[in-house]
Amino acid sequence: MKRLATLRSIVIVVAVYVVLQVLISLGLINPYWQQILSFAGIMAISALGLNLIYGFTGQFSLGHAAFYGIGAYAAAYLSKSIQSTNPLILLLGIICGGILAGVVAFLIGLPILRLRSDYLGIATLGFGIIMKIVFDNADAIIPSLGGSRGMTGIPRLTSFAWVFAVFVLGIIILRNLVFSSIGRALVSIREDEVASEAVGVNTTKYKTIGFVIGCIYAGVAGGLYAHLYSFLHPSNFDFLKSIDVLLIIVLGGLGSISGTIIIAFAWTFLLEGLRVILPEAILDWRLVIYPLLLIIVMLIRPKGIFGGREIKFLFPKPESFKTPINRSETSK
């Protein structure tokens, strides 16, 4: 049963990849839309990280874009200073970006994860603003980071294939983590931190684990982003970008992996799609349409589109996790 489910997942993943690659090679997805597709994947990776932090562990973070930026700048700095177009540099870059984001998350998490709900939100917001200023003035210390003029000359190494691979890996890791003893400890903190501590969960430790892993996702996504557009600007990592990611996970449903993925893609394509569809004159109204959609979704489905549920065929839950067994039947 379980093996079959795993096999089915693999088939689906491969099929999606093949279809997209065929469409790309046939020219049906032009380079512009390819870039959008990659960007959507990157947003999804970053949003999966925030969903682990906020959706599963219940720690309200408004500083996600800062960690995304740390990953982006770290990866970009690495590949720019090595000056090679070997795709493996990208791999090295995103690993370093992820690690650096994780280390910073650990150091900042130690003091601020004591705070709860709104207070934590304010603290992470503060951290986000600090990081934006750091990015703005980074050229004072390392000139090649560009500071407020932006960082140029990053090799364009991110292809759709890379994003897809990291994206799938990200989903698998998150799923394995969430549906496990560690995942249950994280969710118990979201549900009731006091009760969680009272039954013997080291909440400080698990909050830190959740926060660090979530920020590693952001760092990795940032690394991919840097090599997709080959240009970085501090305004790409300001507070509003954190809100974008937050919107995605809230719309998708907190604690839903499927919801995050679908909304991340839908949101990115809507953003770009409206640019194509809407006539020039009312193009700026795009920015009114999204908040309006947000309000409507929140009114109709306050728990998000997926409301903590998962799509069954994408996430066959491991046998030990659900699958009701009728106890009286098995004992006879």
Partner 1 sequence: MSALLEINKLTKSFGGLKAVSDFDLNINTGELVGLIGPNGAGKTTVFNLITGMYNPTLGSIKFQEHEISRLKPHKIAKLGITRTFQNIRLFPELTVLDNVRIAYHFQTRCGICHTLFRTKRFNEEESQLREKALEFLAIFGLETRYNEISKNLPYGEQRRLEIARALVSEPKLLLLDEPAAGMNPFEVGRLMELISFIRDRFKLTILLIEHQMKVVMGICERVVAMDFGEIIAQGKPEQVQNDPKVIEAYLGSVTDS
Give the footprint of partner 1 on this chain (CB under 8 A).
Answer: 173, 176-177, 180-182, 184-185, 187-188, 191-192, 194-204, 209, 308, 318-322, 324, 327
Which residues are CB-neighbours of 144 under 8 A, at least 6 positions away?
Answer: 77, 80, 81, 151
Q: What is the DSSP letter of 316?
A: P
Q: For residues 20 and 177, which CB has a smaller minimum distance to partner 1 in the complex?
A: 177
Q: For residues 327 and 332, which CB has a smaller minimum distance to partner 1 in the complex?
A: 327
Min dist. Cβ of residue 96 to partner 1 (A): 20
Q: For residues 149 and 301, which CB has a smaller minimum distance to partner 1 in the complex?
A: 301
Q: For residues 87 and 307, which CB has a smaller minimum distance to partner 1 in the complex?
A: 307
Min dist. Cβ of residue 187 to partner 1 (A): 7
Nearest to 227 by CA among 53, 67, 62, 35: 35
Nearest to 228 by CA among 161, 156, 162: 156
Min dist. Cβ of residue 182 to partner 1 (A): 6
| Whole-number Cα distances in Å, 82 to 89, 140, 175, 222, 225 | 8, 21, 35, 18, 18
Nearest to 210 by CA among 71, 304, 105: 105
Q: For residues 60 and 135, which CB has a smaller minimum distance to partner 1 in the complex?
A: 60
Instruction: List beta partners, residue 232.
Output: 151
Q: For residues 99 and 278, which CB has a smaller minimum distance to partner 1 in the complex?
A: 99
Min dist. Cβ of residue 307 to partner 1 (A): 10
The tokens describing 298, both together, are: 């929140």
Q: For residues 4 and 276, which CB has a smaller minimum distance to partner 1 in the complex?
A: 4
d(CA 180, CA 205): 16
Given CA atoms 305, 174, 314, 45 in this order, what sign does their dihedral have?
positive
Nearest to 267 by CA among 41, 28, 61: 41
Min dist. Cβ of residue 181 to partner 1 (A): 4
**How far is C-alpha 146 from the geometric centre of its chain's CA atoms?**
25
Min dist. Cβ of residue 321 to partner 1 (A): 7
Min dist. Cβ of residue 183 to partner 1 (A): 8
d(CA 326, CA 227): 52
231 CB neighbour count, 10 Å cutoff: 15
Min dist. Cβ of residue 29 to partner 1 (A): 32
Q: For residues 210 and 222, which CB has a smaller minimum distance to partner 1 in the complex?
A: 210
The tokens describing 312, both together, are: 């069954």
Q: What is the DSSP letter of 140?
A: G
Min dist. Cβ of residue 330 to partner 1 (A): 10
Q: For residues 124 and 188, which CB has a smaller minimum distance to partner 1 in the complex?
A: 188
d(CA 14, CA 33): 20
